[in-house]
Amino acid sequence: MKHPIEQIHHTLAHVMAAAVQQLYPDTKFGIGPIIDNGFYYDFDSSHKFTEADFMDIEKRMRQIIQDKIAVEHIYKPADEAIDENKASGQIYKVELLEEIKRGDRLAITDVDIEQQKDGNISFYKIGEFSDLCRGPHVENTGDLPKDGFKLTHVAGAYWRGNEKNKMMARIYAVAFESKDELEKYFSLLEEAKKRDHKKIGKDLGLFTFSPLVGAGLPLLLPNGERVKKELEDFIRSEKEKRGYSFVAIPHIAKTDLYVKSGHMGKYDAMMPVMTDEEGDTYVMKAMNCPHHFEIYNSQPHSYRDLPYRIAENTTVYRNEKSGELSGLTRVKAITQDDTHHFVRHDQIESEIEMILGLMTTVFNIFDFNNFRVQISVRDPNNKEKYFGDNELWDRSEGILIDAAKKWGKPYTVQDGEAAFYGPKIDIMVKDSIGREWQLTTVQLDFNQPENFDMTYIAQDGSKQRPAVLHVAILGSIERFMGILIEHYAGALPTWLSPIQASVIPISDKQKDFAQKIYDELIKAGTRTKLNDANETLGKRIRADEMQKIPYLLIVGDKEIEAEAVAVRQRGKGDLGQIAINKLISQLQEEIKDKK
């Protein structure tokens, strides 16, 4: 019987826990949620888990699968479940059960636990192992792929993510429906390692880090700064074509601004407070929207002015945990291509359509053509943490779902992933090796216009509230750079390459002619280097190939005579002699067309 992959992941997490219980009977169990491509489970045991244990655990898991044990769904009264888990020393399960009994909302991410309406608690049982869980699961362990999973690594994890609690051993696993899919996954991992932007970024001289500057704060080197500037200029140009006005805001603001917007209550852990000599408190901005709201409110607006689109490529600062930082893809200083659209309510659908069109144009340039839409809505069980009334939220969520349907791309709805002020669309994009990345975000907001008393004069002379769309096409530009480096395996297209051509004289005899070609290419607006280092020709060519420069222009006596260069194009090899004027036109055409 075929089961959804989420059920396979979920049941395999229980099977792993059952195997650990059999092998290490004194183990105390934490939680075991599903994650992308697999699952993990947290264990507290006198045994120190290492990867050397994985073979035994996997072998026992396969035995449990081979034994075709029924996966039983049972219900227990809370008191009975608590007593049983106390008797077996399962202190972490007791803690969760007591919270469920009190009716508390569990402060654990991704844990499928619920108290039934009749007061009984849902458990799933595999042999002697049972775990509180909502499910669903497969009906029998024999339905699981015995060769479709693999334990990958073990890490320390504080119980409930609180560093004051005990450190547990978290064993991670990946799982798929078949052995073939598992092998494809590991092949993809090997390819991803080769494309790791942290290694390529270092090799290509794009960025570096300094312990004195701090983790999560990359220092862009000249090559990296050039790539970033090209991205910023490109997205600015595309937005200006569509009527966006660019603004500039300071990087700090009084806490009053963020208290008014509600961010201080929600994001204060990311916003350390500074106090000036007059006693006013300030924070470094973790978001731009409140500043942009103040820009909107700085002048009156008519219905004719809308949509009013303001944009900015600017940095925000997030106090990310050190364990979550990674190269350019997770940093503390984040440059966003941030925009805010102030629109009449009757313009919302057409504005979203325009935004999705802009996004498609931009992503086509980078060969990102495989999109999926994720719509993030409220947590239906915790609506009190969101601004605004239910009617506004229902309307907002409905508009975004309708927009996704109209666009015609596949979409899913994610409960509990909305921002506190409104639902959002996230565009998930697949790269050249099939990995999925979240890029563009479109958030619809009816609440902050009320909060900041934003108005415009309607056609009948009355004051009306606009809606706001919070939009970032590239998102974090640092993160987008990291994604592109891996997407292209470092071989950025010509227009984006920090060095587009390298002129390489064969010997000192051709240096003057090589200098002339270099000067002409620079004058033509290309980013060119002159590689006349005191090395052999072969070494210089190899060095430039390692730097993934799109065009290598070799100059010898024959080229001087022909007023040409011998061209080696990245990915195509030797193109033979090309006249200098023709080469310049070719380069300019590629740069203009974003090739």
Q: Which runs of E-coded beta strand occur in 84-216?
A: 120-126, 129-132, 149-158, 167-175, 207-208
pLDDT (tens digit, 9 = 90+) per residue, 273-328? 888 788 888 888 989 999 999 999 999 999 999 999 999 999 999 887 777 889 99
Report pLDDT for 117: 47
Mean pLDDT to the nearest integer, 510-516: 96
pLDDT at 108 over 70: no
Do 247 and 298 form a contact (C-beta atoms < 8 A)? no
Tell me if residue 336 is catalytic: yes
Extract the tokens encoding 370. Answer: 């495989």
Report pLDDT for 268: 61
Mean model confidence pLDDT for the chain:
91
Do 192 and 486 form a contact (C-beta atoms < 8 A)? yes
Report pLDDT for 104: 61
47 DSSP 8-state letter: S
Task: Check residues 376 and 221 and name the one with the higher pLDDT.
Answer: 221
Burial of 502 (0-12, 13-18, 19+ CB in 10 A): buried
How crowded is the C-beta side of 273, counted as CA atoms within 13 Å? 14
Tell me if residue 133 is catalytic: no
Report pLDDT for 112: 45
Mean pLDDT to the nearest integer, 370-392: 79
* pTM of the predicted model as reported, rounded to 2 decimal places: 0.82
Strands 308-317 and 28-29: unpaired
What's the rounded Cα separation, in Å, for the pair 340 and 468? 7
Tell me if residue 63 is catalytic: no
Rg (CA), the chain: 29
Give ∠ CA 72-73-79 in degrees, rounded to 5: 120
Q: pLDDT > 70: what percent of the chain?
A: 96
Mean pLDDT to the nearest integer, 471-482: 96
Tell me if residue 547 is catalytic: no
User: Tokens 């939680």 map to which residue?
Assistant: 31
Tell me if residue 3 is catalytic: no
Mean pLDDT to the nearest integer, 320-349: 91
Q: Which of 137, 424, 548, 568 is catalytic?
A: 424
**Amino acid, single-letter form, for residue 27:** T
Q: Which of 137, 285, 318, 330 is catalytic?
A: 318
455 DSSP 8-state letter: -
Other CB atoms within 10 Å distance of the CB of residue 78: 18
Tell me if residue 21 is catalytic: no
Which residues contact residue 338 at a Cβ distance below 8 angstroms, ignoring those fewer than 6 apart?
Answer: 288, 289, 292, 311, 312, 313, 314, 470, 471, 472
pLDDT (tens digit, 9 = 90+) per residue, 3-49? 899 999 999 999 999 999 999 999 999 999 999 899 999 999 999 99
pLDDT (tens digit, 9 = 90+) per residue, 111-150? 444 444 467 888 999 999 999 888 889 999 999 999 999 9
pLDDT at 270 over 90: no
286 DSSP 8-state letter: S
Q: Which of 44, 337, 338, 544 is catalytic?
A: 338
Burial 227-254 (b: 16+ CB within 10 A, else e): bbebbeebbbebbeeeebeeeebeeebe
Do 115 and 81 form a contact (C-beta atoms < 8 A)? no
Q: Helix 222-241 and helix 477-487: axis angle, to 10°?
A: 110
pLDDT at 107 over 50: no
What's the rounded Cα separation, in Å, for the pair 324 and 341? 31
pLDDT at 434 over 90: no
pLDDT (tens digit, 9 = 90+) per residue, 143-171? 999 999 999 999 999 999 888 999 999 99
Tell me if residue 338 is catalytic: yes
Mean pLDDT to the nearest integer, 452-462: 97
Q: Which of 470, 487, 540, 548 is catalytic?
A: 470
pLDDT tier for residue 407 given thresholds of 50, 70 and 90: confident
pLDDT tier for residue 534 given thresholds of 50, 70 and 90: very high
Report pLDDT for 436: 87
Task: Check residues 406 and 548 and name the one with the higher pLDDT.
Answer: 548
Mean pLDDT to the nearest integer, 56-72: 96
Extract the tokens encoding 415. Answer: 């409960």
Report pLDDT for 18: 96
Which of 379-383, 397-401, 493-497 is least confident?
Answer: 379-383
Q: Which of 9, 21, 195, 289 is catalytic?
A: 289
The domains located in the chain, with CATH, are: 5-190 (3.30.980.10), 197-249+288-487 (3.30.930.10), 254-286 (no CATH), 501-592 (3.40.50.800)
Q: Which of 340, 378, 487, 527 is catalytic?
A: 340
pLDDT at 366 over 90: yes
